[in-house]
Each structure stands twice: as C-alpha cells, then as structure tokens.
A and B are shown apart, each in its own frame.
Chain A
Amino acid sequence: MFDLVGNLALGFAVALSPMNLALAFLGCLVGTLIGVLPGVGPIATIAMLMPLTLKVDPTGALIMLAGIYYGAQYGGSTTAILINVPGEVTSVMTALDGHAMARNGQAGIALGMAAIASFFAGTVATLVIAAIGAPLTKLALLFGPAEYFGLMVLGLALAIVLARGSVLKAIIMVVFGLLLSTVGTDLETGQERLMLGIADLSDGIDFAVLAMGLFGIAEILRNLDNPEARNVVGGHVGRLLPSLMDLRRCFGPILRATGLGSVLGILPGNGAVLAPFASYTLEKKLADDPSRFGKGAIEGVAGPEAANNAGAQTAFIPLLTLGIPPNAVMALMVGAMTIHGIIPGPQIMIKQSNLFWGMIASMWIGNLMLLVINLPLVGLWVRLLKVPYRLMFTIILVFCCIGIYSINNNPSDVYFTAFFGLVGYVLIKLGLEPAPMLLGFVLGKLMEEKLRQALALSEGSFLTFVERPVSAGLLVIAFAIIIIAVLPAVNKKREAAFQSEM
C-alpha cells in the first residue's frame, strides 16, 4: 500500500511537468478532433496521429498517445450520441440510448453523463492498474515461453468468440492474420519469407499500415457504398449537466459497469469490446422498467460508457506487465514504443519506472482533461459533424496519407495502405470481419518466437505445453471457450446477442 502511494506520487511528479501536461492536453484535443469524424475509430486515429509524437521524448510521446487514445474513444461516443454513427464496436451500445436522448432534445445531458461516467470509470481503472501492475509484473517474470504461448492462444480464442458473425469465419481471419505476420525476414535464420520479391517487405508488414488500410481506407470505401443517412441533431444541444436525480439514478450502473469493464479489459483478446455490451444487458435486466431502454434511458448511456472507458484503460495492463498487446490499439502502442526504443514487458516497470508510473498518472490526468475539454467544446463538435461526408472523406483520406507517409517517410507504405484498404473492403463484402485478423497479426510474431523457443527447450516435444501446469491450464480454457461457442445452443444465443447489438 505504501509502495502504491509512493509510486503514484512519482508518477504524478512526472506527468505534472508542464511539458507532459501540455502533451497530454494536445493529445486529448487532437484525438477527440479526429475521433469525432464519423467512421474514424481509435485505431485509425492513432495510426494517423502517431507521427505527431515522433519528435517528443519517449515518456512524453506515450503520454500524448494515451491522450490521443482517450480522446478518440470519447470522440467516438460523441459521434454515436449526436449522429448515431458509432465509430467502433465499443460505442455501439452508447448510440442506442444516447441517440434516442439526443432526439428527445437531451443531447447535452447524454454527452455530459457520458463524460462523467467515463471520468469516474477512468479514475477507478487508473487505481486498478496502479494496484495490480506491480504484482502482475512479478508474475510475468516467472512466465516461460510455453506460458506466454498459452496466454496468446487464449487471447486469440477470446477474439474469435467475441467477433461478430460465424465462429468459422473468425478462425479463418485469425489464421490469415497469423500468416500475414510471417511475411518478412525470418527471426532466427534471417531468411526472407513470402515477400513476393518486394524489398520493402523485408521488415514485415508494418502494423500501422495494415491497421490504417483495414480500418481507415476500407471504412471510407464502405461508407461511400452506403449513401449517408445521417441526421445531426439540430442546433440546440441543451443543458450539459445532468440533474442530481439523473446522477443518483446512474450511480449504481456506473459502479457496476466500472467493475465489469475493469475485469473484462484485462483479458487478452480484446475483452474490452464485450464490456459495454455486458453492462447494457445487465442494466436492462436490473431496471424497474426495462422498456425504457432504447428510448433514451440515461442508465443506458452511463453504464456502457463507464464500462467502455474502464476496459479501454485496463487493456494497458497486459501490455505494460506482460508485453502482450490485447487488442489492435495496444499493438499500435507497441509500435510507438518500439520507435522510441522501449520494449514493452515486465522490464519497463523495473528499469523505466519513471515512464511506467508517469504514464499511469497521466491516464488519470487525461481523463480529467477530457472532461474539461469536451464539455465546453461540444458546440464545435456538433458543427464539425454537419460537414457533409463527400467533403469529410477526402479530408480523412489526406490525413491518412500524410500520417502513413510520415511514420517512415516511405512512399511504399502509402501503396501498401491502399492495397490493404482494398483487401479490407473485399473482406467486409465477403462477410469476413477484419478485427480478429488484426489481432492474429499482432500476436503472430510473438507467438512464433515463443513457440520456437518452447519447442527448442523441449527438443521438439509438444508435451511441454501440457506438462507445465500454467500453460496447460491456459490452453484448456482456450479450447473450452471455442468449443462452447460452437455448441449449437450457445451459438444461437450468441448470434441473437449480436443481432440485438446491431
């Protein structure tokens, strides 16, 4: 406990330096600005804005990136409430009741409540990270390659189950992602693999390029196919601050959602996606009058938003302690860390405790800033959302191009982005969801490395994964999850659940 206070004090000392405060502020601001644009989720936002942080020192860069992430997340909720276009899966639930409230002339209250719920959840999640970061790091140091491999298999299994659509298609996408991750120079022998003779691929496919293609460009192509049916809620946003009664009504939901989100966010394999959905379902079950949900129930905004934000933040835990990115956003963080020469994993906390605790403290500061930035700027976001899409997408496209070019100053990255944009578009049309593929790609390199290490240690015997209790346990859970998801009864329920989400 004493440790915790001391560590947090160190963190705040780092995060409160004028430079880092300014970076966190800037990150939140531009993150929200880009995140508000319809069809641009956190993944595309971070990939686009990563070059902004290249000139900053590592700690500052990560603080700023984290700010961009929260900003993008919150911007997505704003879009969901105001125009019913959720930027990504996690704000789908917010759109249901949030947009209904906006139509009832309560857009301001919905936005205010979302901000307050997010802030509360963010505060708790920051404490959770601070409290369990250190013990988990110690645990991580005991993990061998077999355990890491098992943990990543579990992550992929969760990603498969959490994906929309058929389980088989999700498995295919994960395998495809793993296959893509093997492109480039082999880790151990230095041999070139699957490069099609393209020299620019020798370092493998850049993750930012893949993510931008699949989530930036492909999204634009898809939106162009569906002519816009946006109805921006009229000029008046109304009062921003919820009444005391609203607050009291939302207190329980926020508390429960924060718990749910914090736990689910830690799971490898994008558990955070599940959090808002779980919270919404829970509140609907617990409500005195469930029929209000979907028609503008304020709990239906507060719960999912709190869950979303808590999960978004605790997702940092696997990255910072184990070095395993649990979702695509965290994989981009790995990319950014690598550019600055930081290797994510248990060593960060030990060797670079300034950076580790500074980043954690800045998470709380970032959440506070979002509250301060967003409430006064709501009017600006509303006006921004009135720009017609035919102009908006060209702007998004140019930002994408400049962002991708600037990461490596390499025009070929821009071509690859275009290529993966096309791939993403075709996959979406074929009913294959790109999200699990991205996670397969993210974990692929690390998994191959650990698999080879484990097998080299055991001299080629797969029994090593079963003989070690931790890795055996993780693998059993992973297979159990998949098998349960394929069982007809559960499968039907799962499909129904995703249907109602749509």
Chain B
Amino acid sequence: MMSVSLANTDLLWAALLLVLNGAISLALGLRLELNLAMVVLRMVVQVAAIGFILRFVFLQSSPLWTAAVALLMLLVAGYELAARQERRFRLWWTYGLGNATLLFASGLATLYAVTVVIAPSPWYAPRYLLPILGMVLGGTLTSISLVLQTLADGIGRERGAIEARIAQGGTRFEAFAPLLRRAMRTATTPLIHVISMAGMVTLPGMMTGQILAGADPIEAARYQIVLVFILAGAAGLGAFAAAFGGVLIISDRRHRVRLDRLAPFA
C-alpha cells in the first residue's frame, strides 16, 4: 500500500480546523458553535459506527448479515424519504410507495452491478454490495423524493385542469401526463448536472477516496464511471416508478382524482 495510514491523533489534528471555526463563531457572535459541535459529534459517531459495523460484516462475509444490513439501509432510506415530504401521502401510502420504489430501483441496479458489471466472487461480497447500495440509495432517494414532492404540489394547484380533462372523458394518465412529465424532469435534472460536473469541478467523493487509499487513478476513474452509470440508471428508474405509482395512488380505478388519499399539510 502506498497510502498513509491514519491514527486517531491525526483525527484530532484535523479537528483543530473546526475548533478554529468554532472560535470564529464565538468571537463574531454567530451562535453557530453549539450547533456545529453537535453535528460534528453526530457525524463522528455515525461514521465510526458504520466503520465498525462494516468491518464486522466484512469479516463474517455471510449472505445473511449482508442482507440484514442492506435491509436496514433500505428502511432508513425509506424513513428519510417520508420525512422529506412536506405534503405527505397518507402514512402507509408514503412508506409503501417510497419503500417499494426504492427497493425496486436501488435493488435492481445494485444486483445488476454486483452480478453482471463488477461481479466480485461471491457476488454478495459485502465489500462491494453494501457501498454500491449506499450510493445508489442516496441518488434514488433524492430523485424519488423530488417526484413525490412535485406530484403532491402539482395536484393541489392543477386539480381543476386535471379533472376537466377527466370530465371530458380522458383517462387518468392522459390527464396527469403534463404533471407526470414535469415531475420526472424535475427529478432527473439534478442528476444530469451531477453527471456533467463529475471530474470537471468536483472530483467525485468515491474516486477521491480510492485515490487517497492508494488505488491507481485510472482504476478509480473506471469505478467512478461505472458507479455514475448505475446510480443514474437507478435514480431514473426510481423516478419513473414513483411517478407512475404516485398517479395510481392519487387516482382510482374509475379514473377519479382522490385527494382524500393525500394527508393535509403536516
């Protein structure tokens, strides 16, 4: 390994910079020091815990442990998705739709990545599966969240126009088409920005990490490209599934708009 191993004292040296920030906040009366200390502490605990959990799971290398951690990640992502919504679908709809679309898109993309694209042996090796799932979940979560938000906002504002089209004998998908398109565009636009910026302005986090950890930059770039493809594919799939699922939920089989299935503003 060409990389320099980090000791705990190195972490303290790095933290010195943040202490400096805290001092500035204190001196200028920004009142951010307490908040900063809290989030820093939280971050350290979270990341350290993940580190220990991953090391444990890597050592086991058992499909059961891997599946358990993957499931836990999915549930946390599903919870985060629900928490991000301002105007929510009713409880079990939110968790149902959010988790189902997350599971569908992230699961499909991750399984594809580890069985076909990267194909470690065994394919369920947690060292590959879990980090990929994590990245894919993060991207998919954002796009699904944007789709649901756009749908929920849009149906409130455009209910009249949608119902007018339904009253004229249109199907629910005809009536919802403009809103569906907008929701999927809104969800996909940030993705396109991320893809176009990768490597130009920002060196993507994963690639940076690999290079720091001693990997060959070309190899790191290959991994990064593969992951961007998989992540973007999953996020797009998730947006599509969430948009169609969302329409199926806010309308019924008789093509009626069912706003009663949307909870009021929380």
Whether both chains belong to one complex is answered with no
Residues of chain A at the chain B interface (Cβ within 8 Å): none
